[in-house]
Amino acid sequence: MDNLQRIRRMSTVLGRVSAVLFWVTPLACALFWGVFNALPEVVKARFLFPGTHELAALNRALCFLVGMIPAAVAMYGFRTLRELFALYAAGEIFSRRNVACYRTLGRALLYWAGAVFVNTTLLSLAKSVGMPQGQRYLVVGVGSDELAALFAGAAALVISWVMDEGRHIEEEQALTI
């Protein structure tokens, strides 16, 4: 089996996985917040403030809406991955459309970093809605997830520029007599 066949086969599989993840992402977010209070304490502990054990329905609904911010960015990335893998499955390796996909993936990762930052802050507000004065929380922070997404996004953008430059060189060579 040659490399192009392997690329086509794996791209078809990964394209399908990306399509499934696109649709599963909002469903998983809804399911998580819908059954949040029934989850084991070890899972809930990461999302609860000290002294709380459950979230009211309003808080969980707000948490779902806030959670859809990074989920929407993830869906954008999955859609782009599906497009990229469809190009690979069709045997299109270095083209303008591939470069555009990589550029979009880089942007999606940068957007992801921003979405996670905003999500952390808004999630703290959503969880503390309805709490008595003096027990409300506001959390603002940057962690390794955001920094990793920024680095990966920047790397993907650089890769897209390199691929675009390679595509330009290949086109120029094809036109040289």
Token pair of 74, please? 């993830």
Q: Which pLDDT value is given to residue 174?
A: 76
Say what the pLDDT of residue 177 is. 65
Residues 46, 49, 53, 58: what is their CA dihedral angle, to the nearest 10 degrees? Answer: -100
- pLDDT of 171 reads 80
Contacts of 170 (CB under 8 A, 6+ apart): 94
User: Which parts of the chain have pLDDT scores under 70?
Assistant: 1, 51, 177
The DSSP annotation for 82-126 comes to HHHHHHHHTT--SSHHHHHHHHHHHHHHHHHHHHHHHHHHHHHHH
Q: What is the pLDDT of residues 30-69, one digit of tens each?
A: 999 999 999 988 888 888 777 677 889 999 999 999 999 9
Question: Which pTM was predicted?
Answer: 0.87
